[in-house]
Structure 1
Amino acid sequence: MSRAIALDVANARAYFAGRDRAPGSRATGFATSATDRIS
Structure 2
Amino acid sequence: MGNVNIQIPDELHKKAKVYCAVEEITLKDFIIKLLDEKLKKK
Query: Do the structures match in fold with TM over 0.5?
Result: no
Q: Which has a greater percent of helix?
A: 2
Greater RCO (CA < 8 Å, at least 6 residues apart) = 1
TM class by shorter-chain length? 0.3 to 0.5
Give TM-score scaled by structure 2 length. 0.39
